[in-house]
Structure 1
């Protein structure tokens, strides 16, 4: 396994392992990460941990499963296909508002584009269909 693949797997698999410190180990202090659907930028390790906690509180049973990793020929870029599942039993705080628990499960597929230099994630973007999440949670019909 190439170093870039190992790093991006560690980043994503840490969510499902409930180990945000493990994920933060591979994030550069000045990492610039963007959640495209929410139009949110997250800078560095602290923002990663805050986003993890926000998600974990809303979906305590949440899982993150890596489905596929594709590494660019130059070795700096990776595309990570993964899916998240969870039951909405806590308040979900986001830039779109606060959503009270619905007790419903969701499953959504994601794609991350990540750049790894020197064994650290230095930038990335998450793409996913937020409409699927709110539909699964019964927030829209």
Structure 2
């Protein structure tokens, strides 16, 4: 079993591969049957084809996107990576309700990945981010919802 430090290195290499758009390096860091779960979108991707689809969805939507690692913590099995994803939404982004057309807006989004690492490769990923924040930054939701209004009492 690898140490927590070894697994943190795998997580960093995975995000380095994303930043350099080296999909083959990324694929070498995941198991053949990897489960990649986009939690806010409620979409799961499986295997190398699924990993490639998840990766390509984001890089097609934001070809200039990069991630900046904020924290990496973990254990001998699970590692959590907190990062900020930044890019310009210039292409279509597949979402749970259909495709989000390019908005030409900048994205600066906090993301957390929970990674299960087995024998030096990512076997499972749970990706968390605030989809409402993303949609607000794309200009698709109001920036603020305004103050809460009291509800009239039912009589």
- Do both proteins adopt the same fold according to a TM-score greater than 0.5, normalized to the shorter chain? yes
Query: Is the 1:32–1:43 Cα contact (8 Å) retained in structure 2?
Result: yes
1:13 Cα deviation from its structure 2 partner: 2.1
Find the counterpart in structure 1 of residue 35 from structure 2.
Answer: 32
Distance 1:90 1:10, change over 3 A: same
Query: Is the 1:16–1:65 Cα contact (8 Å) retained in structure 2?
Result: no
Q: Distance in 2 between matches of 1:8 and 1:56?
A: 19
Structure of greater Rg: 2
- Paired residues in the alignment total 139
Structure 1 ranges of 4+ moved more than 4 A: none
Say which of 45, 70, 83 aligns to 1:67.
70
List runs of 5+ in structure 2 lacking aligned partners: 143-155
Find the counterpart in structure 2 of residue 112 from structure 1.
Answer: 113
Q: Does 1:41 align with 2:44?
A: yes
Q: Distance in 1 between matches of 2:27 and 2:39?
A: 20
List runs of 5+ in structure 1 lacking aligned partners: none
Query: Is the 1:13–1:66 Cα contact (8 Å) retained in structure 2?
Result: no
